[in-house]
Amino acid sequence: MNGRVNSEYGEIEIGSDVIAIIAGSAAVGCFGVVGMAAYSMKDGLVHLLKRDSLQRGINVKIDSSNRISLVLHCIVSYGVSIPAITDNLIESVRYKVEQFTGMEVNRIDILVEGIRVID
């Protein structure tokens, strides 16, 4: 489902892929986040996604009242507090998505799919 925003000039429809790209860009900019993850059904492994395919690591749902729910599949840095990372991630993603779209973010769930050692 796509999000809808009404303006003085008409209705704006925002695709869920666009929302996922915004959320992914905000997420990888957060301290302690190495990147977004995708689960491969073929081999059962979690893969780190490149910058051009961040939306594959994010599930977007838009309810009937035009509120956004996000599920972020992340890989985090070793040695950093996961609760600290997730608090920062939720604040940053919520702010960026609401600013860009003008829609309310109702819920953000974070699934930590892996940990990477950063040099």
pTM of the predicted protein model: 0.84
CA 15 distance to own-chain centroid: 14
Phi then psi for 11, rounded to 5 degrees? Answer: -95, 140
CATH architecture group of domain 3-116: 2-Layer Sandwich (3.30)
Which is nearest to 110 in space by CA: 92, 77, 86, 78? 86
Predicted confidence (pLDDT) per residue in 44-102, tens digit = 556 676 666 777 889 999 998 889 999 999 999 999 999 999 999 999 999 999 999 98
Query: Where are the chain's structural domains?
Result: 3-116
